[in-house]
Amino acid sequence: MSSSSSMDCASSKDKEAAADPPRAPWWTGETVAVVTGANRGIGLALASRLAERGLSVVLTARDEARGEAAAAAIRDARPPGLGAVRFRRLDVADPASVAAFASWVRDELGGLDILVNNAGVSFNEISTNSVEHAETVLRTNFHGAKMLTEALLPLFRRAPTTSRILNISSQLGLLNKLKDPALRRMLLNEAALTERDIEGMVSRFLAEVGDGTWRGRGWPEVWTDYAVSKLALNAYSRLLAARLAGERVSVNCFCPGFTRTDMTRGFGKRTAEEAGRVAAGLALLPPRDLPTGKFFKWRTPQLYSKL
Ligand SMILES: NC(=O)c1ccc[n+]([C@@H]2O[C@H](COP(=O)([O-])OP(=O)(O)OC[C@H]3O[C@@H](n4cnc5c(N)ncnc54)[C@H](OP(=O)(O)O)[C@@H]3O)[C@@H](O)[C@H]2O)c1
């Protein structure tokens, strides 16, 4: 190895150590982490990282063969003795699939500690903005994540450490992307905002898509349907965090930034592995450092006025 490549190696190890200082873990091999949409992309990288850290990982995917293959690939790659990885089928957009999954978690696992709502879709190319698939995008990215969260909420163990929900969201859905003043006021009024308000916003968007009047109405201008789905997910996460305050379940959002996956047709600033690693770090924050109701842009929590 040349001296320059060994220096490169040392500096990347240093960076790793700085980003991820060694700490006595709060979790054990019995700690259960569920990751949705984990057969590829950021979800797969995150599930793999959680297994490396020794958790018991439930890798879920809507396609049985793809999910089994992904779980087997993690099992084959990880060093022996680390966390268990099992596959379970879950289509987050299908109420029957969500109900069956929740029953399985209750009956087979007895509960869970970490839920990462990662499954997501977008049908746009980088520079297009079609809303043709808006129903599917909202049903998956917002309603699916919400439906699964509500189904699993009674099953969080909440002891001895705080249980966690991490919603993989996007800064495309930050409040500063929304130009409609009434909707902005509604979403910013934390004391008065309700889940019905959020559902109403989504229904209004889908109705405007349906009758072709959505343009020029102050909706986010980039990947509009996807951005509305993440706007709703962010608002719901914030409300849920408030609802669960004091109940030992934290709720946070994470935006990985522009990441090279199938969703971005392979474009992006970083790899799925880098994004998965940071997401795993947030999911595993020590209880004393774990906030709730935050939106993390990479590792940095954002101001509420933008969320
Ligand atoms: N890549 C980025 O730049 C970026 C930026 C910000 C946020 N994000 C968010 O990061 C998350 C992961 O995205 P990614 O970039 O890794 O995308 P990806 O490579 O396209 O992976 C998406 C995953 O979601 C799954 N999925 C889609 N619909 C589902 C459903 N109904 N039920 C269960 N799983 C479903 C897909 O499964 P199939 O294989 O069966 O389709 C796939 O495993 C998404 O929430 C995305 O919005 C990504």
Long-range pairs for 195-198: beta carbons < 8 A, 24 or more residues apart: 195/236, 195/239, 198/232, 198/235, 198/236, 198/239
Mean pLDDT of the region 81-101 = 94
- The residue whose CA has the least distance to atom 1 of ligand 1 is 259
- In the block, tokens 């020794």 appear at 54
CA distances from 27 to 23, 50, 65, 158, 245 (A): 11, 11, 30, 12, 22
Residue 304: what pLDDT?
62
0.85 exceeded by pTM: yes
User: How far is Cα 30 from Cα 179, in angstroms, rounded to an integer?
Assistant: 46
pLDDT digits (tens, 9 = 90+) for 108-137: 999 999 999 999 999 999 999 999 999 999
User: How far is Cα 259 from Cα 41, in angstroms, rounded to an integer?
Assistant: 9
Confidence bin at 80 (pLDDT 50/70/90): confident
From 205, 214, 219, 226, active-site residue: 226
Architecture of the domain whose range is 26-171+233-301: 3-Layer(aba) Sandwich (3.40)
Write the secondary structure of 19-78 as one string of H (helix), E (strand) and C (coil): HCCCCCCCCCCCCEEEECCCCCHHHHHHHHHHHHCCCEEEEEECCHHHHHHHHHHHHHHC
**Which residues have CB under 6 Å of ligand 1?**
36-37, 39-43, 61-63, 66, 90-93, 118-121, 140, 144, 168, 170, 255-256, 258-259, 261-264, 268, 272
- The residue whose CA has the least distance to atom 46 of ligand 1 is 120
- The residue whose CA has the least distance to atom 11 of ligand 1 is 118
226 is catalytic: yes
Residue 23: what pLDDT?
64
Residue 32 near residue 260 (C-beta atoms within 8 A): no
Confidence bin at 79 (pLDDT 50/70/90): confident
User: What is the residue extent of each domain of the chain?
Assistant: 26-171+233-301
When the pLDDT of each residue in the chain is averaged and rounded to a whole number, the result is: 91
Confidence bin at 24 (pLDDT 50/70/90): confident
The answer to whether residue 38 scores a pLDDT higher than 50 is yes
Residue 89 near residue 62 (C-beta atoms within 8 A): yes
Which residue from 166, 259, 269, 274 has its CB within 8 A of the most atoms of ligand 1, so it is best to mutate? 259
Which ligand 1 atom minimizes the distance to the CA of 91?
32
Which ligand 1 atom minimizes the distance to the CA of 93?
31
